[in-house]
Chain A
């Protein structure tokens, strides 16, 4: 188990407190004090599960802006394209599917980046990440792909996650 670090507690506290203020939506002093106490308790107990790597990542403005650009502009475009594609297959009788499980190499090093990429792949309809493995220093994803027109490897990886990975690399590396 990981140690509870000061930076981890602080960053967890800030995230919890921002969420508390957003959810209560009042700047009453009583609410603010309650929120601080509860957030501090939660941060003390849960920061070691929540923070795995550099705790201050969230406060680096360049990466924060890159992350916002990714989740607000790059990812939704991919999402809409994939959604339209799968919806078309559904409305035309679900016959033209070509499912397969492919193995694609991933170059992201950070654990957060790998998790975010796996979740982004799963969120785009038509691809579901099933497993992450590591062989000889290279990370591989097993992806169930509804339109497996390529036999895995670099080209299939480019078709599945090319833009997503380039966007995420700017955020986490």
Chain B
């Protein structure tokens, strides 16, 4: 009985992760400009990865019973969470400096005022 409840919880966590990954993917396809697409992709790397990772963590601890694998799942989640923002800073800044501007007119343009024109 507890096993069934546990499997349901694991499946729910993985389903939540997949739903957020789907939302992020739709956003990457349909958002109007580069920066908004990056915003949508953050959905995949945070709750998408965390949901699936948490489900996998519970699975490795209670179903597989292997602590070493559980630690490795934790390390995977941690590394994704630590490296993702670094890449996001670099890509956003690089896109801006390469001359990519939002297609819609930006509402507030502090960055352009201080750095370019």
Using a CB–CB cutoff of 8 Å, the interface residues on chain A facing chain B are 19, 22-25, 79-80, 83, 86-87, 89-91, 93-94, 97-103, 118-120, 122-131, 133, 142, 144, 146, 148, 151-152
Contacts and interface: CB of A to CB of B under 8 A. Distances in A.
Interface in B64-117: 67-68, 71-72, 75, 81-82, 84-86, 88-89, 92-93, 96, 102, 104, 106-112, 114-115
A20 to B, nearest CB: 11
23 contacts: A22-B75, A24-B68, A79-B46, A79-B50, A97-B36, A99-B39, A101-B110, A101-B111, A103-B110, A122-B84, A122-B88, A123-B46, A125-B42, A125-B46, A128-B35, A128-B38, A128-B42, A128-B92, A130-B111, A131-B115, A142-B111, A142-B114, A144-B39
Interface of A is mostly: mixed
A93 B26 CA distance: 9
Contact of B89 (A118, A133, A148): A118
B61 to A, nearest CB: 13
B53 interface: no
Contacts of B82: 119
Contact of A100 (B31, B81, B89, B108): B108
B23 A128 contact: no
A98 B93 CA distance: 19
Contacts of B67: 25
Contact of B20 (A23, A87, A124, A142): A87
Among A123, A130, A152, the most chain B Cβ lie within 10 Å of the Cβ of A130
Contacts of B26: 90-91, 94
Nearest to A120: B85
Interface of B: 19-20, 23-24, 26-27, 30-33, 35-36, 38-40, 42-43, 46-47, 50, 67-68, 71-72, 75, 81-82, 84-86, 88-89, 92-93, 96, 102, 104, 106-112, 114-115
Nearest to B28: A90
Contacts of B109: 100-101
A119 B107 contact: no
Given A87-B23, A122-B42, A94 B110 contact: no
B30 A101 contact: no
Contacts of B19: 87
A102 B36 contact: no
A86 to B, nearest CB: 5
